[in-house]
Structure 1
Amino acid sequence: MTAMTATTATAGFLYPGHSAEDDFPRMEALLNEAGADVRLPLVHTDIGTDAHRVDALLEMGSVDRLTAVLGDLAPHRPGAVVWACTSASFVYGWAGAGEQVERLAERAGLPASSTSFAFARAVRAAGVRRVAVAATYPDDVAALFGDFLRASGAEVTGLRGSGVITAAEVGTWGRDEVLALAREGDDPAAEAVLLPDTALHTAAWLPDLEAAVGKPVLTANQVTAWEGLRLLGHGPVRCPAMGSLFG
Structure 2
Amino acid sequence: MWQNDGWNVRVRLGVLTPHADVGPESELRAMAPADVGIHAARVPFGAMRPGGEMDKTIPLAPIRAFAEPPYVDEATERLAAAPLAAIGFAFTSSAYVIGASGEEAMLERLYTRAGGIPVVATCTAMVDALRTVGASRLSLVDPPWFDAELNALGRRYYETAGFAVPFSVPCPLPSGQTLVRPDELYDWVSAHVPDSADAVVLGGNGFRAVGVVERLEARLGRPVLTPNQVLLWAMLRAAGTSTDDVAGYGRLFALAGPAPFPASSPGPGGRV
Same fold flag (TM > 0.5): yes
| Contact 1:182-1:213 at 8 Å conserved across structures | no
The equivalent residue for 1:158 is: 167
C-alpha change, 1:164 and 1:101, in structure 2 (3 Å) is farther
Residue 100 of structure 2 aligns to a residue whose secondary structure is: helix
Q: What is the one-letter code of the residue matched to 1:140?
A: E
Q: Does 1:62 align with 2:71?
A: no
How many angstroms does 1:19 deviate by? 3.7
How much does 1:237 deviate? 1.4
1:150-197 deviation line (CA, Å, top 9, x unaligned): 22222212111236897xx13431112321342355221111100010
Give, in whole Å, the separation in 1 of the partners of 2:14 and 2:156: 28
- Deviation track 1:120-155 (CA, whole Å, cap 9, x = no partner) reads 111011121111101112111011111111222222
Per the alignment, residue 196 of structure 2 pairs with 189
Give the Cα separation in 1 of the matches to 2:203 and 2:231: 10
Aligned to 1:209: 216
Residue number in structure 1 paired with 2:28: 24
Separation of aligned partners in 2, 1:85 and 1:206:
19
Q: Is the 8 A contact 2:233 2:243 kept in 1?
A: no
Regions of 4+ moved over 6 Å: 163-166
Cα distance 1:65–1:164, how it changes in 2: closer, same or farther (>3 A)? farther
Instruction: Indicate the residue corresponding to 2:44 in structure 1.
Output: 46
> What is the TM-score of this pair, normalised by structure 1?
0.86
CA distance in 1, matches of 2:42, 2:160: 29
Aligned counterpart for 2:237 among listed residues 217, 221, 230 = 230
Listed as ranges, the matches of 1:90-239 within 5 Å are: 90-109=96-115, 110-136=117-143, 137-162=146-171, 169-239=176-246
**Secondary structure of the structure 2 residue equivalent to 1:187:** coil
* Alpha-carbon offset, residue 228 of structure 1: 0.8
Contact 1:139 1:163 in 2 (8 A): no
How many residues align structurally? 238
SS in 2 for 1:47: coil
Give the match's secondary structure for 1:178. Answer: helix
In the alignment, structure 1 segments of 5+ residues that lack a partner are none
Q: Gapped runs of 5+ residues in structure 2? A: 49-56, 255-272
From the superposition, tell whether residues 229 and 2 of structure 1 become closer, same or farther in structure 2 (CA, over 3 Å).
farther
Moved more, 118-127 or 62-71: 62-71
